[in-house]
Structure 1
């Protein structure tokens, strides 16, 4: 009689132990296979997204739309009371009640020399309001920043800011903005970690000069820009793309108060003439991942704007050895997270 016949209890325990070990091995393989499949699915899903990140408020459907088109409009994102605050601040700047060192105040070329335009009617744009604590609040609005994270990640810099007061066109069509790519103005990369948030401060339509975009153009290259040959005059640094297919599909972005469009810096866009009797206001900020790095743009398609912007900066500040990147270092400001490179 062998050992097994003498110890039926031992046999049962042995078989139970072996069975349990086999089940654990099978379960391990099932779990490993399941985890591997999920990892493959996640990697596959992430490979579909080049221009957006999984953080932030964008749904997968919204991310897919942006990936394809290079822009996404979020309706009623900014509250009217916030826009009223920024409008009042803009009016105070126009009236001279507020003066912020380094902030740029601009006039349209058609009214720049007018003796009759004053106050809000004389100013068509203010730039670099990162230097003003009140207007900078726009850049830090939580409702906007949560979407910005989808493009930049958690470390966010405000790089370029504008409050645009597009004037009624006097017949010269100088109130329009030529088709262009914002990256043309920026000496920092990578391009896909930069985004603009552009908010309508009132109802904006084709009548008062809404934005026009070329969907999908963000997947192309940075094109050569320069001043367009317009008889009515062109505003300073309003460079436009020199050559493009005029038959390319365009989309006009008509927006209600508080609607905000987020768009890629390579997206070709511009705005039409304001044919309405009133001024058209919008406020915007270009954001970038603070880990972006400055690059040299000399002898590139950005050489023209680099020299022009740097010359203006040197004249304004008296810093004779200033470089193009210095123009951006002074006016950029941390919104959230850690300031790494910019």
Structure 2
């Protein structure tokens, strides 16, 4: 008995959506991931972080050092796709594979994954460009941000400046508002942040965006979590500079 693998690529974006992505630097795939799958993945990640025998790769860390148990459900889970089959398959969602191929013009490969908790009260990240942190050549870096629950201004949604990817790579400096943003990140300089708009996502929506798109998030001012699964991809023929992200994951 042979097992058939679905490898035919889907094309979830219309030509108009691809054109809009090129203009704005981002696109939202509504209901790109089923609620059942989201609930199963959230429960799976919770079981990993709540286990008394949590594997080393899953332990909450800051600067590479393991921290207290109180951070089990606050610090992000970094690169779970390298260790966990469910996380790997979430990186390979067919709808994401198809959308990336449409906007990049060829097949993409996964290079990084992060499961964010963003508990109530936690700060956001200052306005930045992903390319600043993940340099690649040629630059095809693209993010897929899967909303693990309803995300709006109250629980710290993303804000973007539409079209800002056309500005190229901008200088980044120290974070200015430490009441709103994490201190360990950096902030893009010499840009009018009043042009940022909130990206409201329903549970299961997928946000695809360019690595040069200026984006940020705010403090979670609600009593709700803002969990998300964020993966970064490059076109299969691009190369990553960072040693820890050089492994490419085919999406087929």
Q: Encode CA deviations 1:34-84: one digit per residue, 9 max, x unaligned.
A: xxxxxxxxxxxxxxxxxxxxx933211101211110001111110011111
Q: Which residue of 2 aligns with 1:61?
A: 16
Give ranges in structure 2 of 5+ residues lacking alignment: 1-9
1:223 to partner: Cα distance: 1.3
TM-score when scaled to structure 2? 0.84
Q: Which residue of 2 aligns with 1:306?
A: none
RMSD: 2.6
Q: Which residue of 1 aligns with 2:123?
A: 175
Q: Which residue of 1 aligns with 2:3?
A: none
1:89–1:135 Cα contact (<8 Å) kept:
no
Q: Which residue of 1 aligns with 2:238?
A: 292
Q: Does 1:329 align with 2:246?
A: yes
Relative to structure 1, the CA distance from residue 156 to residue 114 in structure 2 (aligned partners, 3 Å threshold; closer, same or farther) is closer
Q: Does 1:91 align with 2:7?
A: no
Relative to structure 1, the CA distance from residue 285 to residue 60 in structure 2 (aligned partners, 3 Å threshold; closer, same or farther) is same
Q: Which residue of 2 aligns with 1:280?
A: 226
1:175 to partner: Cα distance: 1.3
Relative to structure 1, the CA distance from residue 327 to residue 137 in structure 2 (aligned partners, 3 Å threshold; closer, same or farther) is same
Q: Which secondary structure state, in structure 1, belongs to the residue aligned with residue 233 of structure 2? A: strand
Q: Encode CA deviations 1:207-242: one digit per residue, 9 max, x unaligned.
A: 101110000001112112233144449647422213
1:179 to partner: Cα distance: 0.4
Q: Encode CA deviations 1:132-157: one digit per residue, 9 max, x unaligned.
A: 21211111121222112113344321
Question: Following the alignment from structure 2 to structure 1, what is the Cα–Cα distance between the partners of residues 23 and 112?
Answer: 25
TM-score when scaled to structure 1? 0.63
| Of 138, 156, 163, the match for 1:209 | 156
Q: Encode CA deviations 1:246-293: one digit per residue, 9 max, x unaligned.
A: 34x221111111111110000000111101112211111111112103
Mapping for residues 135-154 of structure 1, pairs under 5 Å:
135-154=87-106
2:151–2:202 Cα contact (<8 Å) kept:
yes
Q: Which secondary structure state, in structure 2, belongs to the residue aligned with residue 280 of structure 1? A: coil
2:129–2:169 Cα contact (<8 Å) kept:
yes
Greater radius of gyration (CA): 1
Mapping for residues 6-45 of structure 1, pairs under 5 Å:
none
1:102 to partner: Cα distance: 4.5
What is the number of residues matched between the two proteins?
239
Question: Following the alignment from structure 1 to structure 2, what is the Cα–Cα distance between the partners of residues 216 and 255?
Answer: 19
Greater relative contact order: 1 or 2 (C-alpha under 8 angstroms, separation 6 or more)?
2
Q: Which residue of 2 aligns with 1:197?
A: 144
1:178 to partner: Cα distance: 0.4
Give ranges in structure 1 of 5+ residues lacking alignment: 1-54, 296-324, 337-342
Q: Does 1:166 align with 2:114?
A: no
Relative to structure 1, the CA distance from residue 102 to residue 92 in structure 2 (aligned partners, 3 Å threshold; closer, same or farther) is same
Question: Following the alignment from structure 2 to structure 1, what is the Cα–Cα distance between the partners of residues 17 and 80?
Answer: 29
1:166–1:279 Cα contact (<8 Å) kept:
yes
Question: Following the alignment from structure 2 to structure 1, what is the Cα–Cα distance between the partners of residues 177 and 67?
Answer: 19
Q: Which secondary structure state, in structure 2, belongs to the residue aligned with residue 148 of structure 1? A: helix
Question: Following the alignment from structure 1 to structure 2, what is the Cα–Cα distance between the partners of residues 190 and 64?
Answer: 21
1:180 to partner: Cα distance: 0.5
Q: Encode CA deviations 1:291-325: one digit per residue, 9 max, x unaligned.
A: 10345xxxxxxxxxxxxxxxxxxxxxxxxxxxxx3
Question: Following the alignment from structure 2 to structure 1, what is the Cα–Cα distance between the partners of residues 110 and 59?
Answer: 16
| Higher helix residue share | 1
